[in-house]
Amino acid sequence: MLSPSSKIVSWIAQLVAVVIMGQTLYYKFGGAKESVLLFTELDMEPEGRILIGILELVACILLLIPSSITFGAMLGSALMTGAIIGHFTTLGWEGERFTLGMLAVVVLAACSIVLFIRRHAVPLLGSALQDRGE
Amino acid sequence: MAMTGKLVVNLHKLSRFANIAIPLLAGLFFLAGLRISFYFHFLTVAFIFLTVLNAFYLFGQKGHSLLRNFGILAQGRYVLESIGPELRQYLFLNDTEERPFNRNERSEVYRKAQNINSASSFGSHKNFDSTEVKVRHALFPIDKSELKPLTVTFGDMRDCANPYTLQHPFIISAMSFGALGERAVRTFARGAREAGILMNTGEGGYPKYHLEEGCDLIFQMGTAKFGLRDEQGLLDDEKLRELAAKPQIKMIEIKFSQGAKPGKGGLLPKEKITEEISKLRGVPIGKDVVSPPCHAECKDIESTVRFIARVQDVSQLPVGIKMCMGDSKEFRELVNEMKRQSAFPDWITVDGSEGGTGAAPKAFMDRVGIPLFPGLKRAHNILSELGVRSRVKLIASGKLVGPGRQMIAFCLGADAISSARGFMLAAGCIQAMQCGNNTCPVGITTHDPDLQRGLDIDLKSARIKNYVDNLEHDLVELLCSTGCRSIQELSFDRLYVPKDSTLHAYVVQKR
């Protein structure tokens, strides 16, 4: 059982991740110029933009349903790792790209906090921790 | 290691290979993402995560030796192990292998509950010649019309104000509201009412849902005396009088010990304590409820018999005791004391030592208490030797879910059969063995509303009635085949007991 305070921290982190990921969906699905340019540089336009948009939408939904929070956090952190790889390799960090990249870092951090707080419920990890007496 | 040229799987080498391959692949996919297509980074990310997890297994955690030595591939063992019970039950165990009930025993109950003919073909699956106890039939079986009624009357051997006649010799054994969820209690209670049998409330205190369904009840008084206790945990006569006055309460059973954990008090795991149960029993939420191992009023044999007489006197109902047989000498002393005080319980429920819904320490479930058949035989023998067998009825309890074992119990001296798991199976139990976890997948031993949803009270209570009807049908046919006109005419001589049976010790040399 989580203590009330860690539950609150986890939910704040979940909401931060959902709000940040959620608002980019508007641009991704709407085909905003900056978003299209970004995915063109990655050579993923338009399928990759839609696909990643859908996966981010799924992550947001999972993060809000109590029984699937850890799965949402895992998916969210995986997507953000991919985004950060993108910034380091192709997209760069200049100007607006810096803001976008930092948002990805923030979401990754939020998802990591959720995963840490709920580590006992993480698949493949929970039982290994429990047996250490944690 | 010598090369043998044989094709073998070396799990040790395979896992070492995997531990190196996972980070290498992560790097490889990263390069592919850089040079070929950004889509490869989906794999990059997956393998980065795997690398981190594997590093934690190999260097971070210490609890699992296998994971520490072999990494992620060792998870395969835990995955397979976790689905083992299901695989074994579905695929690999044969029809006579499972415990506590094998598939043959379970499907016999299911068929009876669903009114399907249970005839089968081409021979018995039992280990026919070596261990199975059998009933000796008569050369001249009798007709059903010659049978005496199968009713049993409790409290008729003393001047009890309200003796009770059980119409069919079957009782739904003690399962409290707590062990069972609300819908299960209603299902059993409604089924008991429709079938015209008794239901035991279990020691879980004031029987709210049992009473609402209006079936005939045995109220069980456990060592904690839930529902009847005063502030010190002693019996409150006024509360008992009030409870016994309710028209549905027909008999009172004082529980001394229980087959699942003889020598220990009842146990309700904290997972199953809801707000309602905590209120009904007067216990806190979030802590296991452990009843004391014995009644505070019963310090020795003399006070025990006095206590039984006191409950009889206050309740004005038939009063019995429930126990798992332990030391025969103690039981003999107890019966002698009953003779001396001329105070007998109206029945004794002899419980086997296996356990049912009750959560019990494994050592107790497996290793303490005498199994039902030899225990019942001992109780019957001791009561007979002391000349008081007719004063006390015997109820047998312990894995008596089918007519075969029930018939053996009757031959060993039982007057009626009490079963919990038989009725659970009839109500849809699949032997998932989750009773103590509040996760019963068929909604019987759980308080989770989502799981209870699956239990349809009307349909399943009708199955309880079918089950009782078909048990009685088989009992009647078996009785006719032995040529006995009533259950009381059955005796140990009616049994064929092979050498490997636990009952063989009671066989007087004859063939």
Q: How many domains does chain A have?
A: 1
Q: What is the DSSP letter of B254?
A: E
Q: In terms of C-beta density within 10 A (0-12 exposed, 13-18 middle, 19 or more buried), how is residue B300 classed?
A: exposed
**Cross-chain residue pair A125–B56, CB shorter than 8 Å:** yes
Average pLDDT over chain B reads 90
**Are B166 and B195 spatial neighbours (Cβ–Cβ below 8 Å)?**
no
Find, in chain B, the residue whose alpha carbon is nearest to that of A131.
Answer: B63
Among candidates B44, B67, B75 on the partner chain, residue whose Cβ is nearest the Cβ of A85: B44
Chain A residues with beta carbon closer than 8 angstroms to that of B38: 42-44, 48, 86, 90
B64 φ/ψ angles, rounded to the nearest 5 degrees? -110, 110
Q: In terms of C-beta density within 10 A (0-12 exposed, 13-18 middle, 19 or more buried), how is residue B3 classed?
A: exposed
Angle, CA of A116, A118 and A122, to the nearest 5°: 95
Whole-angstrom distance, CA of residue B71 vs CA of residue B59: 9
The CA dihedral of B227, B230, B236, B242, to the nearest 10 degrees, is: -40
- pLDDT value at residue A134: 45
Which secondary structure element, helix H or strand E, spans residue B135, and what is its range?
strand B134-135
Whole-angstrom distance, CA of residue A35 vs CA of residue A29: 9
Give the model confidence (pLDDT) of A72-121 as tens digits: 999 999 999 999 999 999 898 988 899 999 999 999 999 999 999 998 88
Q: In terms of C-beta density within 10 A (0-12 exposed, 13-18 middle, 19 or more buried), how is residue A34 classed?
A: exposed
Tokens describing residue A9: 């921290």
Query: Is A1's pLDDT higher than 80?
Result: no
Among candidates A44, A90, A127 on the partner chain, residue whose Cβ is nearest the Cβ of B39: A44
Whole-angstrom distance, CA of residue B209 vs CA of residue B277: 12
Of residues B112, B91, B109, B113, the one with CA closest to residue B100: B109
The complex's ipTM?
A: 0.90
Give the model confidence (pLDDT) of B54-112 as tens digits: 999 999 888 888 899 999 998 888 888 888 888 888 888 888 888 888 888 999 999 99
- pLDDT value at residue B4: 65
Distance of residue B77 Cα from the nearest chain A Cα, in angstroms? 12
**Cross-chain residue pair B38–A48, CB shorter than 8 Å:** yes
Distance of residue B448 Cα from the nearest chain A Cα, in angstroms? 15
Whole-angstrom distance, CA of residue A10 vs CA of residue B56: 23
Distance of residue A50 Cα from the nearest chain B Cα, in angstroms? 13
Half-sphere exposure of B80 (CA within 13 A, CB side): 5
**Cross-chain residue pair A125–B49, CB shorter than 8 Å:** no
Domain B134-506 superfamily per CATH: Aldolase class I (3.20.20.70)
Q: Determine contact: B17 vs chain A, CB below 8 A.
A: no
Whole-angstrom distance, CA of residue A71 vs CA of residue A77: 10
Give strand ranges (E) for B198-286.
Answer: 198-200, 216-221, 249-255, 267-268
Q: Tokens 């923030």 identify what position? A: A106
Tokens describing residue B482: 């032995």
Find, in chain A, the residue whose alpha carbon is nearest to that of B66.
Answer: A128
Give the model confidence (pLDDT) of A72-84 as tens digits: 999 999 999 999 9
**Are B390 and B344 spatial neighbours (Cβ–Cβ below 8 Å)?**
no
Among candidates A43, A74, A86 on the partner chain, residue whose Cβ is nearest the Cβ of B37: A43
Question: What three-state secondary structure class fits B145?
Answer: helix
Phi/psi zone of residue B196: left (φ > 0), alpha (ψ -120 to 50 degrees), beta?
left
Among candidates B37, B49, B67 on the partner chain, residue whose Cβ is nearest the Cβ of A78: B49
B102 φ/ψ angles, rounded to the nearest 5 degrees? -85, 175
Find, in chain A, the residue whose alpha carbon is nearest to that of B67.
Answer: A128
Q: In terms of C-beta density within 10 A (0-12 exposed, 13-18 middle, 19 or more buried), how is residue B15 classed?
A: middle
- pLDDT value at residue B358: 67
Chain B residues with beta carbon closer than 8 angstroms to that of A129: 61, 63
Per mean pLDDT, which range of B20-24, B230-234, B354-358, B504-508 is the poorest? Answer: B354-358
Chain A residues with beta carbon closer than 8 angstroms to that of B39: 44, 48
Distance of residue A32 Cα from the nearest chain B Cα, in angstroms? 20
Q: Determine contact: B31 vs chain A, CB below 8 A.
A: no
Chain B residues with beta carbon closer than 8 angstroms to that of A124: 53, 75
Task: Return the residue in B34, B36, B39 with the most chain A beta carbons within 10 A, the one to mutate for interface testing.
Answer: B39
Find, in chain B, the residue whose alpha carbon is nearest to that of A90.
Answer: B34
Q: CB neighbours (10 Å) of residue B145?
A: 6
Read off the pLDDT of each residue in B439-454 and give the average, rounded to a whole number. 94
* Cβ within 8 Å of residue B37, ≥6 positions away: A43
**Cross-chain residue pair B42–A82, CB shorter than 8 Å:** yes
Residue B511's pLDDT band (cuts 50, 70, 90): very low
Chain A residues with beta carbon closer than 8 angstroms to that of B22: none
- pLDDT value at residue B268: 85
Query: Is B346's pLDDT higher than 90?
Result: yes
Find, in chain A, the residue whose alpha carbon is nearest to that of B75.
Answer: A124
Q: Determine contact: B77 vs chain A, CB below 8 A.
A: no
Whole-angstrom distance, CA of residue B355 vs CA of residue B362: 10
Distance of residue A125 Cα from the nearest chain B Cα, in angstroms? 8
Give the per-residue SS3 of B270-293. HHHCCHHHHHHHCCCCCCCEECCC
Tally C-beta pairs within 8 A across A and B: 49
**Are B201 and B207 spatial neighbours (Cβ–Cβ below 8 Å)?**
yes
Distance of residue B79 Cα from the nearest chain A Cα, in angstroms? 10
Q: Determine contact: B56 vs chain A, CB below 8 A.
A: yes
Whole-angstrom distance, CA of residue B436 vs CA of residue B268: 8
- Per the DSSP assignment, residues forming a β-bridge with B146 are none
Tokens describing residue B495: 């049994």
Of residues B165, B211, B215, the one with CA closest to residue B195: B215
Give the model confidence (pLDDT) of A33-60 as tens digits: 989 999 999 988 889 999 999 999 999 9
Give the model confidence (pLDDT) of B111-120 as tens digits: 999 998 877 7
Amino acid making up residue B387: G
Distance of residue A19 Cα from the nearest chain B Cα, in angstroms? 23
Give the model confidence (pLDDT) of B9-66 as tens digits: 888 889 999 999 999 999 999 999 999 999 999 999 999 999 999 999 999 888 888 8
- Expressed as residue numbers, the domain containing A80 is 4-130
**Cross-chain residue pair B41–A48, CB shorter than 8 Å:** no
Give the model confidence (pLDDT) of B199-211 as tens digits: 999 988 778 899 9
Chain A residues with beta carbon closer than 8 angstroms to that of B62: 132
Chain B residues with beta carbon closer than 8 angstroms to that of A89: 33-34
Q: Determine contact: B326 vs chain A, CB below 8 A.
A: no
DSSP notation for B38-73? GGGHHHHHHHHHHHHHHHIIIII--S-HHHHHHGGG
Whole-angstrom distance, CA of residue B421 vs CA of residue B24: 55
- Per the DSSP assignment, residues forming a β-bridge with B495 are B135
- Per the DSSP assignment, residues forming a β-bridge with A62 are none
* Cβ within 8 Å of residue B27, ≥6 positions away: none
